[in-house]
Chains A and B, each alone.
Chain A
Amino acid sequence: MGLRLPSKVLEHILSFIDSNEDRNSVSLVCKSWFETERKTRKRVFVGNCYAVSPAAVAKRFPEMRSLTLKGKPHFADYNLVPDGWGGYAWPWIEAMAAKCPSLEEIRLKRMVVTDECLEKIAASFKDFEVLVLTSCEGFSTDGIAAIAATCRNLRVLELRECIVEDLGGDWLSYFPETSTSLVSLDFSCLDSEVKISDLERLVSRSPNLKSLKLNPAVTLDGLVSLLRRAPQLTELGTGSFAFQLKPEAFSKLSEAFSNCKQLQSLSGLWDVLPEYLPALYSVCPGLTSLNLSYATVRMPDLVELLRRCSKLQKLWVMDLIEDKGLEAVASYCKELRELRVFPSAPDLDEANIPLTEQGLVVVSKGCRKLESVLYFCVQFTNAALLTIARKRPNLKCFRLCVIEPFAPDYKTNEPLDKGFKAIAEGCKDLRRLSVSGLLSDKAFKYIGKHAKKVRMLSIAFAGDSDLMLHHLLSGCESLKKLEIRDCPFGDTALLEHAAKLETMRSLWMSSCFVSFGACKILSKKMPRLNVEVIDEHPPETRPESSPVERIYIYRTVAGPRMDTPEFVWTIHKNPEIGVSHLAIK
């Protein structure tokens, strides 16, 4: 007689387990646990849409209510992945429509979504509630209109930094005339004007609306009128502030903001002039999140705003904040958890902003809860990195972009090896790391050895040789995503550590020295990896030893994909056959 947990009991236990990592572990225990788990999983996450087939996912999780998918590699954000690469949502939507009609939520990141997809979603999922598209492209406002018109239970519609074919603001009028269930609406990435009266009426008949993010075309007058109708908002993305200030307009704006007593998150603020900032003062004490990264406000105007934000946990800002502004942040924003500082003039020859490594050092010293950093700076020092690591061992995400490629410690002229060693060693919970500046192979020895929990690592213009990759792939126990550009390593380390690649989600390499020959060997050795070469010319027209431009390697149980464009070559599993667009199993 075997001891077996009745499936009903197991089901009940599993209803308390939300983490998919835990559920994945549960599903490995035995067949019956696998069965119970798969039948009860409601929230499905697929980190690489090509790692598994849509049909397999739909079949495995029949009770799916929420699907999250990611498509293109992260470096697509910086134009390193050519248009047409892939990441199509359609096969997924089609499969879910057929097998999981109770699907309620779809979240897609870096995928190609067409109007057809959106229309299919609207038509297929009767209880559809949540659509979040992040960095997606391929659809027009017509597709959005279809969602608005048909999804009667729509709660969340968010278009975050998508590239949308904007056919005008009519889509907004497609929401049902009756009261809506909208809780969150984000159309900040759209260009064209929506009729303010449509927006006013929509807001008025959406009593549950908590989050509203407008596009730059919405004027200040429009904003005032909307705030009057939705004083219950907790998240607001304003429209553009680039309009002439009239005295009575200012006081109206001020008053509208002061009536929003529950506002916690503020963003948008395109082109906000310093004179407008006082209108925001009333909401500052309640703010936990402030995104000023599109606001070209300089010092010292920023200080007056920031010193009122004592509850601030998340701050996104441009380097116009300068070291001085960051000193103010360190003094007043003691609850800060996340800081992102973007470059105001991304062209290198315009770099003359007084933001230095000291800004980040002072925030690291003053903000004890700081755990996530993204910092663009022209140059850095090892000493600064050591201080940051010492003061903030609780860092979970550290992304430093020294804008000058190969820039050494500007005080000692040494590589930044010691500094990043301190970060890797000191910040034991580090999950995400981006390195930059002058780095030798040694830096990667330290990172490989100490960064035990790092899951995502980004590297550019660094290292001396193959050793760098060898160190990383033989260490970094938790590594899931590795993306590298312009580093001088080649075939040896890659082939030596081929097995490691199957423990990872993906590896991206561009402008390195990996040869076509090595790609072939790797592909043959590792049948469960797709080795994709992105190259202008067929790799076969060059000698085997010549480096390929870009490689994307990912583990998959779905085999080679069938939707590769002209310039992507999946290395055939049988290397004698070579490469093809239609990779045959």
Chain B
Amino acid sequence: MAYEKVNELNLKDTELCLGLPGRTEEIKEEQEVSCVKSNNKRQFEDTREEEESTPPTKTQIVGWPPVRSSRKNNNSVSYVKVSMDGAPYLRKIDLKTYKNYPELLKALENMFKVTIGEYCEREGYKGSGFVPTYEDKDGDWMLVGDVPWDMFSSSCKRLRIMKGSDAPALDSSL
């Protein structure tokens, strides 16, 4: 059926439904409940605790908020998740607030209270024991610092600071 997948969304799965047809009574209750739920559940992100797989949120509502796709794709601030091996929870940073690698690395060092050191083209981050890596648009894990800053900031999807002992494969491949 031509309608099954439209705009690459399975509309049936993602459509907000006020209940199955015929269930008018229950729907009203659900509505009130979800009203209360949404009031209490919504909280501002003071904590940055996150899990790898978050359950689907209200963001799954099709066409809501009513913003054209051209706005959704381009201009959301580019927060990326940052994990560090051994750290109890992930952090999030906005890549757009940094202009170059030294600023980013300094921020990461402050955030996780570690020393990462300086980038060296041939040998990566020697001696510090921590290696900053990132996942790019193609899903590959790369060493932070290899490509020009602009290219990095537009293709970086998430960051991972690997502990030196876990990352010999990366270092030796350079």
Contacts and interface: CB of A to CB of B under 8 A. Distances in A.
- Determine if chain A interacts with chain B: yes
Contacts of A542: 21
Contact of B63 (A78, A376, A438, A488): A78
A82 B11 contact: yes
20 contacts: A78-B62, A79-B62, A79-B69, A82-B3, A82-B11, A242-B154, A296-B77, A342-B71, A343-B67, A345-B77, A346-B71, A349-B54, A351-B44, A376-B65, A376-B67, A404-B38, A405-B38, A458-B66, A485-B63, A486-B16
Contacts of B27: 488
A532 to B, nearest CB: 14
A235 to B, nearest CB: 19
A401 B68 CA distance: 14
A511 interface: yes
Contacts of A55: none
Given A84-B2, A189-B70, A408 B59 contact: no
A438 B67 contact: no
B2 to A, nearest CB: 5
A296 B96 contact: yes
B154 A161 contact: no
B7 A347 contact: no
B35 A406 contact: yes
Nearest to B34: A406
Interface in A543-571: 545-547, 549, 565-567
Contact of B12 (A404, A485, A536): A536
A345 B76 contact: yes
B52 to A, nearest CB: 15
B22 interface: yes
Contacts of A271: 96
A576 interface: no
A405 B67 contact: no
Nearest to A565: B2
Contact of B57 (A345, A349, A513): A349
B39 A407 contact: yes
Interface in A59-109: 75, 77-80, 82-84
Given A350-B79, A404-B42, A270 B74 contact: yes
A376 B72 CA distance: 14
A270 to B, nearest CB: 7
A547 B74 contact: no
Contacts of B70: 161, 189
B138 interface: no
Given A344-B77, A405-B61, A78 B68 contact: yes
A79 B9 contact: yes
A411 to B, nearest CB: 12
A293 interface: yes
Contact of A78 (B11, B17, B67, B74): B67
Contacts of A342: 67, 71
Contact of B65 (A242, A296, A403): A403
A271 B99 CA distance: 12
**In the complex, which range does the number of interface residues on chain A fall in?**
35 or more
B1 A347 contact: no
B140 interface: no
B45 interface: yes
B6 interface: yes
Contact of A408 (B1, B39, B63): B39
Interface string B89-103: 000000010010000
A413 interface: yes
Given A536-B4, A566-B1, 17 more contacts: A78-B66, A79-B63, A84-B2, A161-B70, A295-B75, A343-B65, A344-B75, A347-B59, A348-B65, A349-B59, A376-B65, A401-B65, A404-B42, A406-B38, A511-B16, A536-B11, A545-B21
Interface of A: 75, 77-80, 82-84, 161, 189, 242-244, 270-271, 273, 293-296, 318, 320, 342-352, 376, 378, 401, 403-408, 410, 413, 438, 458, 460, 464, 485-486, 488, 511, 513, 536, 542, 545-547, 549, 565-567
A408 B57 CA distance: 19
B63 A75 contact: yes
A567 B3 contact: yes
A460 B63 CA distance: 11
Contacts of B155: none
Nearest to A513: B24
Contact of A77 (B59, B68, B96): B68
A318 B24 CA distance: 39
B107 interface: no
Nearest to A463: B31
Q: Tell me which of B3, B44, B149 has the highest count of chain A C-beta atoms within 10 A of its own C-beta.
A: B3
A243 B21 contact: no
A554 to B, nearest CB: 20
Given A77-B68, A347-B76, A511-B15, A82 B62 contact: no
B113 interface: no
A320 to B, nearest CB: 8
B150 interface: yes
Taking each of B1, B22, B39, which has the highest tally of chain A beta carbons within 10 Å of its own beta carbon? B39
Interface in B15-40: 15-18, 21-22, 24, 27-28, 31, 34-35, 38-39
A270 B75 CA distance: 8
A348 B59 contact: yes
A438 B3 CA distance: 32
Contacts of A486: 16, 18
B122 interface: no
Contacts of A351: 42, 44
A549 B17 CA distance: 10
Nearest to B58: A348
Contacts of B44: 351-352
A273 B100 CA distance: 13
Contacts of A296: 75, 77, 96
B68 A161 contact: yes
Contacts of B154: 242
Contacts of A347: 57, 59, 76
Nearest to B79: A350
A88 B5 CA distance: 22
A488 B31 contact: yes
Contacts of B54: 349
Report the 5 A-B pairs with minimum CB-CB distance, sorted nearest first: A78-B63, A567-B3, A546-B21, A82-B6, A406-B35
A69 to B, nearest CB: 20
A511 B11 CA distance: 12
Contacts of A244: 149-150
Interface in B142-166: 149-150, 154
Contacts of A343: 65, 67
Contacts of A513: 18, 24
